[in-house]
A = this chain, B = another copy of it.
Amino acid sequence: MFENLFSKGGLSLERLRGFMSMAEAGSISKAAPGDATRQSQISRQIRELEEFFQTELTKRRGKTLTLSPAGQRLKVLIHEQLQDLEDFRKEQEGRPKSYIIGAGASVLEWLVTPALPAISQLLGGAILRTEAHRSRSLAEAVQDGRVDLAVIRQNAVPAGKNHALVLKMRFLLCIPRRLLRPGTTEPEAKKPALWQTLPFAAGRDGGQTDTAVRAAMQDAGVDFQPRFECGSMLQVRQLVALGACAGVLPSLGARGLSAEETLILPFTPLKDYGRALVLHWNERQMRRRGQEVDVLKKVAAQLARSA
C-alpha cells in the first residue's frame, strides 16, 4: 500500500515543512530572514524533495527562486493535507477549528469584524483569523485554499463559483455641515454645482470603487480634484469625521457619523451602481473542512444583517 512512497527515502514532513515555508514566504530568504543556517537547510530540503518527486519544484528567477508549476501544485496539495491533519487533531482534542476570513480593509473593519462573534458561533465555535487584501487577490486565495471565506465584490468571483449575496453597495455623499453656508438646504446640497465648491477626500490607488466615484463625478459635470488622496476608505471617513472635507463613502462606512455634524445624502450619480458584496468560498475545501453550504449561507445572512 503506497510502498513506493516509502521504499525510497526522501519524503518527510520536515522537508515538506521547509518547502512550504519557502512557498508561502515567497523566497528562502523571506522564509528565514537573517538566518543563514535555516536558509541553507531549506535550500537543501527543497533539493531533496525535488529528487524524491523527480521534478523541479522551483525555478531561479534572477537571484531568487519562484515556484514552478509543479511546485505550485505541491504547495496547494500539502497545504490541504496539513490543514486536514490539523483539523483532525483539533477535533480529537475537542478544540475548535481555525478559519481564515478575508476582505478589503474597509469591509473588514466595518462589516466583518463586528460580525465575527456571530460567525464564529455559526461555524461551531471556530477560531477566526482575518486578512485584508484586494478582492482579486482574495478570490485567488480562496481558489487555492489559503483563505476559507472572502467578502469581496461579486464581479471578482470566478464564474460559476460559490458565493452568497451579502449586500448591494450603496454610496453616500457625506458633507461636514461646517463646510456649508448656513441655511443650505438638502435640495441645494444635492446639486453637483455645490459639490464643485467643496474640498473632497478620495481613494488614490485606482481601485474599482474609487474609479467609479471619480467617473460618476465626471458624469455629473464636476471637475473632481480631491484635496486628499487616501490609501483606503477608512482614512477618507476619518477626514470626513474630522470635518476636514467631504467624501463619498460606502453606506457601511457612514455609520456612526454624527448627523448633527455631517450631512448624509444618497450619492445619486451612483444610485444604480449595482455592485454587490458577496461571501465567496471554495465548496470543495469547506466541505472537506466540515462546513456545509447551508451554514455558509447563514454566515452570509449574518453579514447582511450586520450591514
Q: Which residues of A contact B (CB under 8 A)?
A: 1-2, 4-6, 11-14, 17, 20-21, 24, 52-55, 70, 73-74, 77, 81-86, 88-89, 92-93, 284, 287
A284 to B84, CA, bound (A): 15
With A5-B82, A13-B13, A53-B93 already in contact, 13 other A-B pairs whose C-beta atoms are closer than 8 Å? A2-B20, A2-B85, A4-B89, A5-B13, A5-B89, A6-B13, A53-B92, A54-B92, A55-B92, A55-B93, A77-B88, A284-B284, A284-B287
Which B residues touch A53, using CB under 8 A? Answer: 88-89, 92-93
Query: How far apart sit A54 and B91, CA to CA, in the bound complex (Å)?
Result: 10
**What distance in Å separates the Cβ of A94 from its nearest Cβ neighbour in chain B?**
9
Cβ of A1 and Cβ of B21 under 8 Å apart? Answer: yes
**Which residues on the B side are within 8 Å of A77 (C-beta)?**
84-85, 88
Contacts of A54 in B (CB 8 A): 89, 92-93
Complex Cα spacing A130 to B284, Å? 29
Contact partner of A83 (CB less than 8 A), chosen from B2, B4, B20, B70, is B2
Check B1 against A6 for contact (C-beta < 8 Å): no
Nearest residue in B to A24 (C-beta to C-beta)? B1
Tell me which of B5, B83, B86, B284 contacts A86 (CB under 8 A): B5
B2 in contact with A82 (CB, 8 Å): yes
Query: A52: which B residues are within 8 A, CB to CB?
Result: 89
Q: List 23 contacting pairs A-B, 8 Å CB cutoff, sorted by A.
A: A1-B21, A1-B24, A1-B82, A2-B20, A2-B83, A2-B85, A4-B86, A4-B89, A5-B85, A5-B86, A5-B89, A6-B14, A11-B85, A13-B13, A52-B89, A54-B93, A55-B93, A73-B88, A77-B85, A81-B81, A81-B84, A284-B284, A284-B287
Chain B residue at minimal CB-CB distance from A52: B89
Instruction: Tell me whether B13 and A1 are in contact (CB under 8 A).
Output: no
Q: Whose C-beta in chain B lies nearest to the C-beta of A21? A: B1
**Given the complex, which residues of B lie within 8 Å of A85, measured CB to CB?**
2, 5, 11, 77
* A81 CA / B14 CA spacing, docked (Å): 16
**Which residues of B have CB within 8 Å of A20?**
1-2
